[in-house]
Chain A
Amino acid sequence: MAEASQLFKEFKIQSVSEFFRRNAAMLGYTGKVRSLTTLVHEAVTNSLDACEEAGIPPYVRVEIEELGNEHYKVVVEDNGPGIPEKYITHVFGKMLAGTKAHRNIQSRGQQGIGISGAVMFAQITSGKATRVITSTGNDEIIEAWVKIDVDKNEGKIVKKEKHPNPKGWRGTRIELEVKNVRYMRSKQGVFWYLKLTAIANPHAHIELIEPDGKLIVFPRSSDYIPEPPVEMKPHPKGVLTDDVYRLAKKTRRNTVRRFLIGEFSRISDKKVDELIEYIAALRLIKTVEDKKLQEQYYQKLMEGHVKAVLRAFKGYTKVVKQVAKMMEKPPEKLTWHEAEEIVEAFKYMKFLAPPTHGLRPIGEENIEKGLKGILKPEFVTAVTRPPKVYSGGIPFQVEVGIAYGGEIPAGFDLYRYANRVPLLFDAGSCVTTQAARSVDWKRYKIDDLDRAPLVLMINVVSVHVPYTGTGKQSIASVDEIYNEIRLAIMDAARRLQTYLSGKHRRLAQVKRKKTFEKYVPEIARALSILTGEPEEKIREYFIRFIESRFASTEVEEVPVAEEVAENA
């Protein structure tokens, strides 16, 4: 028996590890370069979120040290609020236990798996614990080595030291040792990720020390710290049966009616009464055997004639009463079937558009600052579109920035973001790529997009970004989102066009000026021979004349006499 239980224990440990390994792709740990990027991403995201929530301008420093072949130490340090001692194990140890999971809130992170996933990844590749040094700014600094007890899915502090904090340092520094990863300066690597992060977060100062010791600084270019996102209750049009069912189990409300009003947006007492009628009507329609007639009822319902539909059935009041009863029972007693009925009825009902106050776009000004600060372009513009709704009830918002020329090398680059998080993979299948390519750039004075020194940044903001896969690296082609992106791009491109045509005009102006200037010495010499005045003086007259004409606005085109056609 002892042997068997031993085996059982072995099996259990193995299975958690095994699960994580098998699902590493889900968390972003696939490929040696990408795994490192994901690790850094989780730590940096935590830092940025923590700083924003505490209202501190973030200062994040990433250090990557090569310890051996495909063996690195990753250090991420921030000036955030720090972690109180008793929460250390929760933050780094428990998977699927974050504060944002299952809440309808716009978030950067991987919904609670984030940093504990990173700790886990470090642990299973190098066997080492993660070193955490943190202080909330009080008189002590805590240094702790954290491991995950895979068995219990719990954080465990293997070693802990306390140090005095005479200078009142506040922040968090974590050190992870990982193997099976590789540092590369590619477009999927840490450098690129941090660069894109810096652009989308101009309020953050980000530094990177590469394995060869090189320090790269992405300086802060905005003082504005974005407000942390707020939770938004789900909109009835955007929920699935599962959402309703699960939320009903979790809620603290004591009736289904109270639950619906309390946990969803745009549902009032009156709406619940309406919902009762719709559910009743749907139940009744389902009893009709004639398919054609049934279709007609559905149609009528869709048009909002719920009362008329109800009246078509004898004894409909009885059914209505039944449904009304359901609304008064405790929500945890709600059955899957009933949740299904509610969601189906939602589809036929009309609701106010969902609230958008929870969306946190970067903002036009800050996009411009971010692009300008990091890319040093000669021209930059940004467009933040007003929020829109997709799939009936999920609010989203699109932002676009364009940076052109300056230090940007030739060749089109698309920087994709979802909720400010750079997307580095699967660009081809992303709706942003499709939308960017669908624009006729020639109309905006970009004759050859692939050779233009142009960076297009697109940020899709939503409480629920429709990713194409679990890797969360590409946004699905939802019509509403696609169209919004296109509109935003075209809006920004129009401004680029205006700039470019102005620039062409100025260039032509300089060229024209040179045309006149080059003839001045010849003219001066000839006029000197003809009039006897000193050549030098005549030259001055002409140069001064040209200067004054070009200084005062644009040179009005002097009337070109008919001669030109015949004589020029």
Chain B
Amino acid sequence: MPKRKIHRERPKEKFSYDPRKVLKMLDEHARRILEDIKAGKNPHFDIPMRGLSNVYFDEETRLIRMGDKLSRRYFLNVAHARKFMQTLLIMAYVKRLVSEGKHASLREAYYANKHTIPGTRENTFEDQSESDPIIEDLERMFGVLREEMHITADRRGYIYGDIVIRDGEDEFNASKLGSGGWAVPGTVEHIQFPEINVDYALVVETAAMADRLIEEKFPKRENALIIATQGQASRGVRRLIHRLHYEEGLPIIVFTDGDPYGWYIYSTIKQGSINLAYLSDKLATPESKFVGMTMDDIKKYGLENVTEKLKGIPPNKKGGPTGDYKRILEEMNYPWFQNKEWQRQLQLALKWGVRIEQQALANKSLEFVAKEYLPEKINNGDLLP
């Protein structure tokens, strides 16, 4: 066994959650609105614009970042007035949540603020699709996570490994909770890690693979923390990954299916996403690395028989490219995939027209992934950037 190249580094960031910051933001913005209206000015909010047009890739930090385009939301504008009112309602709600130390889900935030406007037949919010974007607006406007505003996202994903977690009044070791591990909550801002006995974190796309690795005692043997994302990583998981890397110095290695969706999951963990570009600083981990699956693995481990065909029409066929082919071509254009290794993998996928799942490794043997594939690649540093 070669000497392991991956191990825990020095922390780069300090735990940063401070509820006073959110309260200060709320106060500043509300006061400015009040000053404007007193002075006879049309009060407004400046909200960084969302969407592709206001997103760019920052080569230096290697993050998808939000541009500086702002949209102004005025009170005295027929098209804005309702949203202006909704923004203030949510702000007031956040103030109550944070100052009382309570958390609410997006849906609770919606119901808590929905009521009929007196003297009309209009509701303050007609649908959750009205309140969710307002909360995102506040995130972008204040530069804070909604979790910091005590509004939580859906939870998904879990972790397993020799790590001590302090969650409020509870403190426990994530390798002693049975084979299910510790489910990552919607917000991880308040979570602390008094003790960490792992060298790195392995982020696994599918729960089935994570279960397999736990059963094979991979975390113990390799001194690794398993983080199961269960598909696209939730905000909680992404934030957890970020914190583990920057605050605790854990290297991040991502293990997904060898298909456009798996590579996109990796891309989101690494560079952030367009939707949440304004949160990349807090959610993305550009230093993470990719262990597999790659197209090279197919040749290297003789998995030709367990590949599957890509979905959709190839680019050279009539009507193409569609489906997987189209996704791959898009990914090839991502700035962070502009390197020889990744271009080669993507080209191969296009050329062969195949994809490969993590579970295909079971074709070798149940232990193969835990005992050969992962240790070999990780310890050899056979990782993609």
Contacts and interface: CB of A to CB of B under 8 A. Distances in A.
Interface string A513-553: 00110110111011101110100001001100110110000
A567 interface: yes
A541 B85 contact: no
Given A530-B27, A542-B37, A561-B73, A515 B92 contact: no
A437 B92 CA distance: 61
Interface string A426-444: 0000000000000000000
Contacts of A560: 77, 79-80
Contacts of B119: 518
Contacts of A1: none
Interface in A89-126: none
Contacts of A521: 117-118
Question: B26, B40, B72, B78 — which one has the most chain A CB atoms within 10 A of its CB?
Answer: B78
Contacts of B220: none
A80 to B, nearest CB: 61
A563 interface: yes
A566 interface: yes
A558 interface: yes
A519 B85 contact: yes
Contact of A531 (B30, B69, B73, B118): B30
Contacts of A557: 77
B76 A555 contact: yes
B166 interface: no
Given A519-B81, A527-B33, A561 B71 contact: yes
Given A522-B124, A563-B47, A538 B34 contact: yes
A163 interface: no
A547 to B, nearest CB: 11
B212 interface: no
A287 B33 CA distance: 101
B195 to A, nearest CB: 41
A562 interface: yes
A2 interface: no
Contacts of B122: 518
B107 interface: no
A325 interface: no
A561 B73 CA distance: 8
A548 B76 CA distance: 12
B91 interface: yes
Contacts of A558: 42, 74, 76-77
A523 B75 CA distance: 10
A473 B70 CA distance: 71
B29 to A, nearest CB: 8
Nearest to B46: A561
Interface string B81-100: 11111001101100110000
Nearest to B26: A530
Contacts of B78: 512, 515
A164 B62 CA distance: 117
A439 to B, nearest CB: 35
B89 A526 contact: yes
A527 B40 contact: no
A530 B51 contact: no
Contacts of A518: 117, 119-120, 122
Contacts of B40: 545, 548
Contact of B82 (A519, A531, A541): A519
A7 interface: no
B38 interface: yes
Contacts of A542: 37, 75
A172 to B, nearest CB: 63
Given A522-B117, A541-B37, A545-B40, A530 B76 contact: no
Interface string B111-143: 000000111101010000000010000000000
B31 interface: yes
B49 A563 contact: yes
Given A531-B30, A558-B76, A568-B79, A545 B37 contact: yes
A564 interface: yes
A53 B47 CA distance: 78
Given A529-B92, A531-B27, A549-B76, A566 B84 contact: no
B88 A561 contact: no
A531 B34 contact: yes
A545 B40 CA distance: 6
Contacts of B34: 527, 531, 533, 538, 541
B304 to A, nearest CB: 46
A529 B95 CA distance: 8
Nearest to A519: B85
A231 B272 CA distance: 96
B242 interface: no
Contacts of A519: 81-82, 84-85, 117
Nearest to B71: A563
Contact of A567 (B37, B96, B133): B133
Contacts of B150: none
Contacts of B118: 521
Contact of B92 (A525, A546, A561): A525
Nearest to B51: A566
Interface in B14-60: 26-27, 30-31, 33-34, 37-38, 40, 42, 47, 49-51
Nearest to A550: B76
A337 B211 CA distance: 126
Nearest to B88: A526
Contacts of B33: 527
A544 to B, nearest CB: 8
A426 B201 CA distance: 98
Contacts of A533: 34
Nearest to A522: B85
A530 B95 contact: yes
Given A531-B31, A545-B37, A548-B40, A516 B81 contact: yes
A373 to B, nearest CB: 40
A561 B54 CA distance: 14
B54 to A, nearest CB: 9
A482 B151 CA distance: 75
Give the most central of A521, A523, A525, A538: most B CB within 10 Å.
Answer: A523
A529 B26 CA distance: 11
A518 B76 CA distance: 12
Nearest to A561: B71
A545 B43 CA distance: 10
Nearest to A512: B78
Contacts of A541: 34, 37-38
Contacts of B26: 530
A549 B40 CA distance: 9
Given A560-B79, A567-B71, A526 B91 contact: yes
Contacts of B133: 567
A526 B70 CA distance: 24
B50 A566 contact: yes
Contact of B30 (A527, A545, A562): A527
A429 B101 CA distance: 85
Contacts of A527: 30, 33-34, 88, 92
Nearest to B70: A561
B288 to A, nearest CB: 31
Nearest to A545: B37
B31 to A, nearest CB: 6
12 contacts: A515-B78, A516-B81, A518-B122, A522-B85, A523-B75, A523-B88, A526-B85, A531-B34, A561-B72, A563-B49, A566-B49, A567-B83
Given A521-B118, A522-B117, 20 more contacts: A518-B122, A522-B88, A522-B124, A523-B88, A525-B92, A526-B85, A526-B88, A526-B91, A527-B34, A530-B27, A530-B91, A541-B38, A545-B37, A548-B40, A557-B77, A558-B42, A558-B74, A559-B72, A561-B71, A567-B83
Which 3 A-B pairs have CB atoms at the shortest separation, nearest pair first?
Answer: A563-B71, A530-B30, A526-B88
